[in-house]
């Protein structure tokens, strides 16, 4: 490693720019895990209206755009949830679910609280034998009432370490 800086072995990429999660389905950008070991998706969501809980889903793809897509299952979710603010929540809480390609934040009252939801997938979870190297996370339309949200990816385990990385978008 050059300076052992975080971004020499990791990358951070916007998935969903800040938006009203009630305006439409929120499709996350695709990132290529071909040169990384894992992808961590982080969703930040503001307080919304009871019952309009964000539902996060994961997909794998065989191309940066178009191509073929299919579900990507995961079992572990971490979250910080707070009625007045997540800045007062010190530790992440781990939730384990049966293998699924989605997580409904109803279980943590995702609309009634500020929330940071974190889902991690490994590159080895993808169907790479059939060319699936891209991953994306999406947030379904939460309903009629406004709720602000944004998401980003943290890619870890770069196959090579360098000050300037190859793009994970292609």
Residue 163 forms part of a structural domain: no
Residue range of the domain that includes 124 = 6-156
Does 164 fall in a domain?
Answer: no
In a domain, 123, yes or no: yes
Structure tokens at 159: 């196959």
The model's pTM is: 0.90
| 165 falls within a domain | no
Count of domains forming the chain: 1
Q: What is the pLDDT of residues 151-165, one digit of tens each?
A: 999 999 887 666 556
Q: Is 169 a member of any domain?
A: no
Distance set, CA 31 to CA 13, 87, 148, 168 (Å): 8, 29, 23, 5
User: pLDDT at position 96, please?
Assistant: 96
**Burial grade of 148 (CB within 10 A; 0-12, 13-18, 19 or more):** middle
């Amino acid at each position: 490693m050059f300076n052992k800086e975080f971004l020499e072995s990791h990358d951070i990429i916007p998935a969903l720019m800040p938006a009203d999660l009630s305006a439409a389905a929120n499709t996350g950008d695709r990132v290529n895990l071909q040169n990384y070991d894992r992808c961590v998706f982080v969703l930040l969501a503001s307080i919304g209206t009871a019952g309009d809980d964000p539902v996060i889903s994961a997909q794998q793809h065989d191309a940066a755009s178009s191509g073929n897509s299919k579900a990507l299952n995961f079992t572990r979710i971490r979250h910080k949830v707070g009625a007045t603010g997540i800045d007062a929540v010190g530790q992440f809480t781990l939730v384990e679910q049966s293998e699924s390609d989605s997580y409904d934040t109803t279980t943590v009252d995702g609309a009634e609280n500020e929330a940071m939801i974190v889902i991690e997938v490994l590159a080895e979870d993808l169907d790479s034998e059939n060319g699936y190297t891209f991953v994306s996370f999406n947030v379904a339309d939460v309903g009629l009432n406004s709720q602000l949200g944004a998401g980003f990816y943290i890619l870890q385990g770069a196959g090579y370490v360098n000050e300037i990385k190859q793009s994970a978008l292609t």
